[in-house]
């Protein structure tokens, strides 16, 4: 059995379902976790699903995933547009990282158009709601199979 796929979520994603549902949808983070667990299981993988509002904790989890994950699906939230430290952490680890976002960041405010994570990640999937996560898991599984 391969190592699990780690799904890491950044700030404010714990508020999904109530925070700007017109942008992020009505699903809670627990709903997303449940769908991700089922999808990963269908592909033959388990997941570790985490959320933090703290940049340093996300960095620690990326470091942990370097040893304990086969791949990472990462929604860094607003840190996408601000964190060189997360960029450096993604570059420093071996497992492939797939960046995901529920909303289409390129169609939102100008400050959301740049991702510090994108240039360090294997790929990015944005704007597809829950499907961004599910496609991220599928992409991560494909990366694992080609390693």
Q: Does the annotation list 81 as a binding residue?
A: yes
List 6, 39, 87, 101, catalytic entry? 101
Q: Is 71 exposed, middle or buried (0-12, 13-18, 19+ CB in 10 A)?
A: buried
Active site residue 24: yes
Secondary structure (DSSP) of 57-98: HHHHHHHHHHHH-SEEEEE-GGGGGT-HHHHHHHHH-SS-EE
CA distances 85 to 61, 127, 145, Å, are: 13, 24, 29
Active site residue 101: yes
Q: Does the annotation list 75 as a binding residue?
A: yes
Q: Does the annotation list 103 as a binding residue?
A: yes
> What phi and psi, each to the nearest 5 degrees, are found at residue 75?
-110, 95
List 24, 79, 116, 133, catalytic entry? 24
Handedness of CA 119, 32, 46, 6 (dihedral sign): positive
Which residues carry out catalysis?
24, 101
Binding residues: 75, 81, 88, 102-103, 112
Binding residues for substrate: 75, 81, 88, 102-103, 112
């Amino acid at each position: 059995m391969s190592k699990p796929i780690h799904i890491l979520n950044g700030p404010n994603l714990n508020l999904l379902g109530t925070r700007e549902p017109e942008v992020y949808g009505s699903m809670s983070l627990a709903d997303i976790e449940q769908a991700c667990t089922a999808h990963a299981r269908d592909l033959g993988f388990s997941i570790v699903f985490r959320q933090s509002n703290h940049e340093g904790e996300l960095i620690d989890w990326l470091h942990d995933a370097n040893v304990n994950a086969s791949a990472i699906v990462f929604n860094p939230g607003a840190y996408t547009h601000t964190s060189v430290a997360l960029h450096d952490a993604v570059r420093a680890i071996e497992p492939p990282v797939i960046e995901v976002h529920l909303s289409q960041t390129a169609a939102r405010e100008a400050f959301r158009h740049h991702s510090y994570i994108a240039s360090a990640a294997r790929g990015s999937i944005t704007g597809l709601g829950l499907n961004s996560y599910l496609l991220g898991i599928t992409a991560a599984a494909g990366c694992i199979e080609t390693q």
